[in-house]
Copies of this chain bind each other. A is one copy, B any other.
């Protein structure tokens, strides 16, 4: 790569923003040169405006950046959005209107019919919505989104099975506390406990999964016509969403065919050796008690999804366990991989 690309992060001082700052450190293509945040933080140095909550230290180069207002203008063309949903919708549209490429982790535009909701290994072709989006909205810029953290784990687990005709999915999540921002769950609430409710999570997981696994039909995405039912729970785990999945498959594949589908699963990110792409995006673990979040979530830089315990389901056809890193593959890493795919598609030209 001869020329590095300058990027900005909208909402850079919050928890998700910090994950972007951390993930982009030493990125081979992208240079984080611009950080935007709310009025309270603007004109301060990033190091002064930010209460750094992540392991490791704040990257020195970013620490010295001055925080800017979240308004188009002097921001780089490519901006990652880590803004809270209460403000992200409008600001992202303003940036896209002004010609920016907005790669967003926020939920606001995920379900818009003309906005790709992207898992690069699963539905890279949904990027074909972009010309429609630009035409319809009169934008030179564009908005591309990544799914909710639990949706990523489910769709990475189901992606390899799409070929068999997914008709029904029931999933139960056991989600880590790092998924909830800061302070997120109070320790009084989650210490040695399970909270069987996460606001809005089940709806997101159900709808987003249907969109991601849907087909691009030439001018729209037709959602997958499968029932998807989610039970979402918070458990006292630091990083990594573990989910159980029961799935009905139209073509009734056998165990060997499914295992092969998991193991051979690969997509454009792998073919093009995108910098953040894991070599094997879905990995099957043969040990009967794996994957486990604390033991497995840091492998492959948090960018792969681990599957285990494939076995017949007495109600649907098959059942298994899946695990993915909620703040990496489920947030900052997902968005950066999206941007890498978009660049490799020539969408930045």
How far is it, in angstroms, between the C-alpha of A213 and the C-alpha of B246 when the chains are bound? 23
A186–B188 contact, CB under 8 A?
A: no
B315–A193 contact, CB under 8 A?
A: no
> A25 to chain B: closest CB distance in Å?
16
A192–B191 contact, CB under 8 A?
A: yes
> Chain B contacts of A189 at CB under 8 A?
183, 187
A315–B238 contact, CB under 8 A?
A: no
Which residues of A, 240-291, contact B by the 8 Å Cβ criterion?
242, 244, 246, 288-291
Interface residue from B228, B233, B246 paired with A170 (Cβ < 8 Å): B246
> A135 to chain B: closest CB distance in Å?
33
> A315 to chain B: closest CB distance in Å?
4
Interface residue from B53, B182, B187 paired with A191 (Cβ < 8 Å): B187
Interface residue from B55, B229, B309 paired with A197 (Cβ < 8 Å): B309
Interface residue from B53, B174, B319 paired with A229 (Cβ < 8 Å): B319
How far is it, in angstroms, between the C-alpha of A183 and the C-alpha of B235 when the chains are bound? 17
B196–A188 contact, CB under 8 A?
A: no
How far is it, in angstroms, between the C-alpha of A309 and the C-alpha of B190 when the chains are bound? 18
Q: Given A295-B55, A314-B228, A316-B170, verify A235-B190 contact (CB < 8 Å).
A: no
Q: Does A178 lie at the interface of the complex (its beta carbon under 8 Å from any beta carbon of B)? A: yes
> Chain B contacts of A206 at CB under 8 A?
314
B238–A188 contact, CB under 8 A?
A: yes
Q: Across the two chains, which residue of chain B brings its CB closest to A311? A: B202
**Number of A residues with CB within 8 Å of any CB on chain B:** 57
A193–B244 contact, CB under 8 A?
A: no
B238–A172 contact, CB under 8 A?
A: no
How many monomers of this chain does the complex have? 4
Interface residue from B174, B192, B246 paired with A233 (Cβ < 8 Å): B174
> A219 to chain B: closest CB distance in Å?
27
Interface residue from B56, B315, B319 paired with A228 (Cβ < 8 Å): B315
Interface residue from B187, B246, B315, B321 paired with A236 (Cβ < 8 Å): B187
A192–B231 contact, CB under 8 A?
A: no
Q: Across the two chains, which residue of chain B brings its CB closest to A54? A: B295
B289–A193 contact, CB under 8 A?
A: no
Interface residue from B55, B183, B196, B319 paired with A186 (Cβ < 8 Å): B183
- Give A contacts to B, CB under 8 Å: 53, 55-56, 168-170, 172, 174, 177-178, 182-197, 206, 227-229, 231, 233, 235-238, 242, 244, 246, 288-295, 298-299, 308-309, 313-316, 319, 321
9 tightest A-B CB contacts, nearest first: A183-B186, A172-B172, A231-B244, A193-B294, A197-B289, A227-B315, A229-B314, A192-B192, A196-B321
Could you list 26 examples of A-B contacts with CB < 8 Å?
A: A170-B170, A170-B313, A174-B174, A177-B191, A182-B188, A183-B183, A183-B186, A183-B187, A184-B187, A185-B187, A186-B187, A191-B191, A191-B236, A191-B294, A192-B238, A194-B237, A195-B289, A195-B292, A196-B290, A196-B308, A196-B309, A196-B321, A197-B288, A228-B314, A231-B321, A233-B242
